Amino acid sequence: MITQLPSKILIIGATGGIGKYITNAIVSAEPRIGRQISIFTSQATATSPAKQDLLFSWKSKGASIITGDLNNSDDIKKAYSGVDTVISCLGRNVLASQIELLKLAEESNDVQWFFPSEYGTDIEYDASSKDEKPHQTKLRVREFIREHVKRVKCTYVVTGPYLDMYLTLIPTGEDAGGYDVKSKRAVIVGSGDEKVGLTTMPDVGKLVVAALRHPDASMGKVLKVQSLVTTPNAILEEFERQTGTKWTVDHTTNEKLREVEKEKWDANNPLAALYTLRRIWAEGGTLYEKTDNEIIGLTPGDMEPLSAVVKRAVNGEGY
């Protein structure tokens, strides 16, 4: 067991959608976290012109870059050497490869703490969660951990939906809901007054750092954390306030959402998972009596407010 804070941290999937927020937060943490931070990535990412600024900024903050093949056990064993804490931020398409990564972690002499790639919807929220299609690979990873990972302790950081992405109105999936700043138009699922718990993408990084700083509270736990609870109508009001005008609003009923969700799965449409997740979120699958923010040392004032994220969307800042 780790008796002190993590010392040597390895991040896998660092330059991805949420990985870059988690990695930024870890390499920029004040006071510093860990004595050594390394990033395991592919040769393709390490040499990609689009990723150079990001990698350079992390190297300038003391992180080292290790290149290798995620599916090559020798490369992983080498990357694990001397590392006590592994943070996986791998994407949905490669989540199953974590089973081998966990096996190698369990066999290693060094790795003691592993964060599987979760950072999303609670895949064990209630009895219906086990049947939701988008949850299946993450559920398999958790099952493997329960059955086969004994020495290494795992922490799941369950953040619910990312507020930054939740705001986006996807042209080919409008009835799933979202907000379009250009046309000042929103599509709202349900009445708009149903509560939803969300986490901003920078806050996901903050929450992972907080978990790393509080091993006693977070090791071996499913941490249910979030930035805030709001409603689609409150988000609309914030957009209207910041843009100084009324927006056009369309509604999707929960029944309609379920119908379209089924159609998308039947047609093998890549947006099907999004519809399932939006349905889960609209039906209350992000709400808790109490979150775990406090046990990892975070108060509501530490988290980003809704206005900050809406402001980024109004300014056209990407994520």
Ligand X SMILES: NC(=O)c1ccc[n+]([C@@H]2O[C@H](COP(=O)([O-])OP(=O)(O)OC[C@H]3O[C@@H](n4cnc5c(N)ncnc54)[C@H](OP(=O)(O)O)[C@@H]3O)[C@@H](O)[C@H]2O)c1
What positions carry a catalytic annotation?
138
Looking only at the bridges linking them, the beta strands covering 113-115 and 153-154 are parallel
DSSP, res 317: -
Q: Which residues lie near ligand X (CB under 6 A)?
A: 13-19, 41-42, 45, 70, 89-94, 117-120, 159, 161-162, 165
Q: Which residues contact 277 (CB under 8 A, 6 or more apart)?
A: 120, 121, 134, 161
- Beta bridge pairs of residue 12: 40, 88
Q: Which is nearer to ligand X, 240 or 286 (CB)?
A: 286
Helix/strand/coil (H/E/C) assignment for every residue in 23-80: HHHHHHCCCCCCCEEEEEECHHHHHCHHHHHHHHHHHHCCCEEEECCCCCHHHHHHHH
Minimum distance from residue 3 beta carbon to ligand X (Å): 29
Nearest-approach distance from CB 91 to ligand X, in angstroms: 3
3-state DSSP assignment of residue 212: helix
> Phi, psi at residue 178, to the nearest 5°?
150, 180
Shortest spacing between CB 210 and ligand X, in angstroms: 17
Instruction: Using the minimum distance from each CB to ligand X, give the nearer residue, 163 or 181.
Output: 163
User: Measured from the CB of residue 44, what is the shortest distance to ligand X in angstroms?
Assistant: 7
Q: Report the residue closest to ligand X, judged by CB.
A: 16
Nearer to ligand X, 116 or 215 (CB): 116
Strands 228-230 and 196-198: antiparallel
Residue 99 vs 184, nearer CB to ligand X? 99
Q: 226 in helix, strand or coil?
A: coil
Between 93 and 172, CB nearer to ligand X:
93
Nearest-10 crossing angle of helices 19-28, 52-60: 20
Nearest 5°: phi and psi at 153? -95, 140
Q: Do the strands 178-180 and 248-252 form a parallel or antiparallel pair, or are they unpaired?
A: unpaired
Residue 200, Ramachandran bin (φ over 0: left; ψ between -120 and 50: alpha; else beta): beta
- Count helices and strands (H / E) in the chain: 13, 13
Contacts of 183 (CB under 8 A, 6+ apart): 248
